[in-house]
Structure 1
Amino acid sequence: MSLVEVEKVIIVEGKSDKKKILTVVNEPLEIICTNGTISMAKLDELIDELYDKDVYILVDADDAGDRLRKQFKREFPEASHLYIDRAYREVATAPDQHVASVLLSANIDVNAKFL
């Protein structure tokens, strides 16, 4: 059995965000949880690990998410940033259809039932 090389990586804050994304995506990708914060050592490790992949940042639309996003913009400028509507605040509680449309806008294949 061969392993599929995953080209796309989405970085989220928590496990509930990861679960939400897994319910709507329709392609193999890696989802990394920061658990709300990330150390410089871990960030440096991620940068080395992900240098040849398409990296997307999808964090909550709140103060903690904004701080994390700023850190990624500074330390990982080549990553693409995806945004949920501020009305939903959290990735995990946003409607599946909204998360699917955000991912689709970044050319990430999503399950058609959410469109």
Structure 2
Amino acid sequence: MNESKNKVIIVEGKSDKDKLAAILDEPVEIICTNGTLGLDKLEELAIAIEDRDVYILVDADDAGHKLRKQLQRELPNAEHLYINKMYREVAKTPLMYLAKILVGAHFNIHKNCLG
């Protein structure tokens, strides 16, 4: 399997997914949790992506912290990406800032997103 198709980013909502999709310059599966996940859904997700490179990028708020802890238990090998707390939400984080986070995690991004 192609390494880039092997990457998965888990986000909370569709607006987060759309924002990342606009920045990424490689095929990456972006999975929306739509908030917290039930135990069955979480186990299903963990099994489906267990052999892939998984990244978690959630909001810097209480709901995001709760989801991150939940995902950390089920996906202990996932790499955690963090936004600055002042932005609170991935969807409200400036493109250039998100692009730098993704570059730091070795994602290919559109050059115009770096300013």
Which TM-score applies when normalising by structure 1? 0.93
Pairwise CA distance, 1:73: 1.2
1:51, CA displacement in angstroms?
A: 1.2
Letter in structure 1 aligned against 2:103: L
Report the AA paired with residue 12 of structure 2.
E
Supply the distance in 2 between the matched residues of 1:39 and 1:105 (Cα, whole angstroms).
Answer: 31
* Structure 1 segments of 4+ aligned residues over 2 angstroms from their partners: none
CA distance in structure 1 between the partners assigned to 2:51 and 2:75 by the alignment: 12
How far the C-alpha of 1:74 sits from its partner, in A, is 1.5
Query: Unaligned stretches of 5+ in structure 2?
Result: none
The structure that is helix-richer by fraction is 2
Aligned residue number for residue 81 of structure 1: 80
Structure 1 residue 114, shift from structure 2 partner: 1.2
* Displacement after TM superposition at 1:88 (Å): 0.6
Alignment partner of 1:55: what SS?
strand
1:42, distance to aligned residue in structure 2 (A):
0.8
Q: Which residue of the partner structure matches residue 98 of structure 2?
A: 99
CA deviation digits over 1:26-79, x for unaligned, max 9?
A: 000100000011111111111111111100000000000000001111121011
Cα deviation 1:60-104 (Å, max 9, x = unaligned): 000000000011111210111000111111000100001111111
The aligned runs of 1:1-115 (5 Å cut-off) are 6-115=5-114
Structure 1 unaligned residues grouped into runs of 5+:
none
Q: Alignment identity in percent? A: 55
Cα RMSD, aligned residues only = 1.0
- 1: distance between equivalents of 2:73 and 2:45? 14
